[in-house]
Amino acid sequence: MVLLTVSGHPGSGTTTLVGNICGRRGWSSLNGGQVFREAASERGVSVEEFSALCEAEPEVDKILDEKLLDAMQSAGGPEVVESRLCGWWAHNNEIDCVRLWLAVSEDERARRVVSREGGSVEDALDRIRQRMSDDQARYETLYDITLDDMTPYNLVVDGDELSPEEVVDAVEAVLNAEEGA
């Protein structure tokens, strides 16, 4: 069963965190974004086209979310699952694990996106805000979930002022404490 869920807004550093945690611990992971991209590829459409399809056919989104939940509950599944909603799935299904939300401001996320992909901070902010608005509307419609609600998370790390290594160290401290309990 999953030991750690990692959630956060786009550009918050969740993928970097998961890579670092898995590298340190020799754990495996499942990335919800990758599951989404693979499903789009299987249908022969772009991620944007697949996203529009999911909006028109909500059951497609639910099928992908079920894949993540099944992996989280599987004895042979990954130790880490990363997706925007995996903390909610763990909470709602009473899966005993660390449920992390990596909190990073919009401005910092935009700077990170520009550093990774180029462009202007203003354009990155616009894309981030649009994606957050679209995703929030979908999550509310499908599951009555508000991403600003931190109820499911038993660990919230503010990553604005932390390096990737410092974020990993903070998460490691909690994981070590859990293991010692």
What's the pTM value of the predicted model, to 2 decimals? 0.89
Asked whether the beta carbons of 106 and 128 are under 8 A apart, the reply is yes
Q: Quick one: average pLDDT of 138-151? A: 91
Residue 101, pLDDT above cutoff 90:
yes
β-partners of residue 29 are 80
7, containing H or E segment:
strand 4-7
**DSSP class of residue 33?**
H
Residue 58, pLDDT above cutoff 90:
no
β-partners of residue 108 are none
The domains located in the chain, with CATH, are 4-171 (3.40.50.300)
Q: Extract long-range pairs of 114-123: CB within 8 Å, 24+ residues apart.
A: none
Kindly state the percentage of the chain with pLDDT values over 70: 99
**DSSP class of residue 148?**
T
Predicted confidence at residue 181, as pLDDT, reads 62
- Cα gap 163→142, rounded to integer Å: 35
- Residue 154: both structure tokens together: 């038993």
| DSSP secondary structure, 89-117, as one string | HHHHTT--SEEEEEE--HHHHHHHHHHHH
Predicted confidence at residue 164, as pLDDT, reads 93
Q: Quick one: average pLDDT of 77-86? A: 95
- Cα gap 142→176, rounded to integer Å: 35
